[in-house]
Structure 1
Amino acid sequence: MANPPKPWKAEYAKSSRSSCKTCKTPIDKEKFRLGKMVQASQFDGFMPMWNHAGCILKKANQIKSLDDVEGIELLRWDDRQMIRKYVESGGPSKNTAKDVASAVAECGIEVSQTSRATCKRCSQKIMKGEVRISSKPDGQGAKGLAWHHANCFLEMSPSTLIEKLSGWDGLSSSDQETVCALIKKSPSAAEIGTKVKGIKDDEQSTSKGGKRKKDGTGDQKSKIVKTEGDVSVRKAASQKNANNMEAENQKTSDLERKLEAQSKEIWALKDDLKKACDNSRVARDA
């Protein structure tokens, strides 16, 4: 019996042959997919039951920990963050569901040939000659296409990889440059807020029994000085802890930014290399 692997496997589809076990539709090549590892019935080992990543992340109680996902370190940064947010929130949240819907949608980009379409975000006409982006959620036919101005779509889904959209290669160089200029970098990681509770210094002095007050004021003053000293020490310790927490959070944030930049640089190189190979293949076949 083979040793059981991690419960989940994450990757980008190597072909378009697999179908999603959730929605029963094909998983296109290079689309982000998640496979649940199950015992194979025809051989001694395990095999993945593939699903669109979005179909899995719409459900609750699926991925319990990042350590349960094989290949997560090889994913694009935005896809890693999608899984991490799912795990940290314990399931799909409203924001996660919105991101997933955007990720699952079949999108295309083109230059508008007419001025009839209306942008679904701003409700303004998309004029002839403008670059527009379409989205088609799973299960809808061609009549279900939703058109957007390029800038409106990128505002809704800033992490979209426009180079992967259907029709991107058909745009002119000037149109591609115009769209690329619209992309705004989203924050690398959510800022971690540090809330430090203040120390309550209410000293409750309840007298048990009938104790007599001392007439001397020296003892009272010494008690006040001692109490103030204790409060100062506690406040100093609390401030030190707060500073330490803030420093740790800053280090974490800096590390997240560096990891994100590194991941995006690596994937940019991969995308450029793949594009160069595709162009070389086309030139050779021509």
Structure 2
Amino acid sequence: MSSTTTKIVAEYAKSGKSSCKKCSEKIDSKSLRLGLKVWDPRGYDNTKWHHVSCFFALDSELPVFGVDSIEGFQELTGSDQHKLKQMVSETDQVSTKRKGDDESKSERGDLKKLKTDEDKKNRQDKKNVTNEKIIAEYAKSGRSSCNKCSEKIESKSLRLAQGFENTKWYHLDCFFPLDTDLVSADSIEGLSELKSSDEEKLRTLVSKGGQSSKKRDGVDDTESKRGHSKKLKTDEDKENGQEKNNVTNEKIIAEYAKSGRSSCKKCSEKIESKSLRLAFSSWDPRGFENTKWYHLDCFFTLDVDLVSADSIEGFTELKSNDQEKLKTLVIERDQSSK
């Protein structure tokens, strides 16, 4: 690592959200922190922050430097400037003892590491790394652009992203020509929040993507096709079973829609703002509540087994006429099921 490719930055932490890259502990707000800043090939400065003591423990990872080369040094308090001068001096004395063969080996190792890191980043830009999470959502505005074709992504249209810290969004059709290796559609974050039609479309595209990548690798994908088809059928059966049987782990919620952005899982139409909507809500293993909203009329076309309207969460918060309407629908459902 050389000083031409790496800058050292000193500043007081603006918040308590950053973590030390050495010890992984939080860096307290307003405490002095040091960073190694390098230019990322993806087009931005990448700074790795450290506690002061952890920074100087990096040893061979540090470039040769003096306090005058530390960006932000002049903005520090006098006591912190003095502290840094002492630590730089001590580090310099230790590094001087290691000159010669050890220093040459270290430089060669650092250069090799830099090349390896650069190669890894280039492969990430080329390949859609399998360890990254994939996100699906409807575009919140029309400001984002597709990372493949550079065209704008229309507001409220379905878009997909690789899970970099700086998320790269794609049109649905642009995403799947990438060399994407997804085990299943269920691994896509946000899948359960999509309209049923979009959810099925994604499952189909993931299935086709998995088959084509196996062909490129020269592997017979016949079993893969059977496996994907079987999984699609199983997923479809599960979803139908949930709608028909009102899974016991799910609770039913009633409320007035807070906005006009939610869609009915039955008919896929928008649910108007402030209109009464009902939902099945269950705990997702990934750590959040998974809620599927329905129009009132669409909800009661499902085979819902309700003991009473009073068992619906949020029932007491509704207007009296909506409470009466719900009670009537529950009674009618109970009678028809008998």
TM range (shorter): 0.3 to 0.5
Structure that is richer in strand per residue:
2
Higher normalized contact order (CA 8 Å, seq sep 6+, divided by chain length): 1
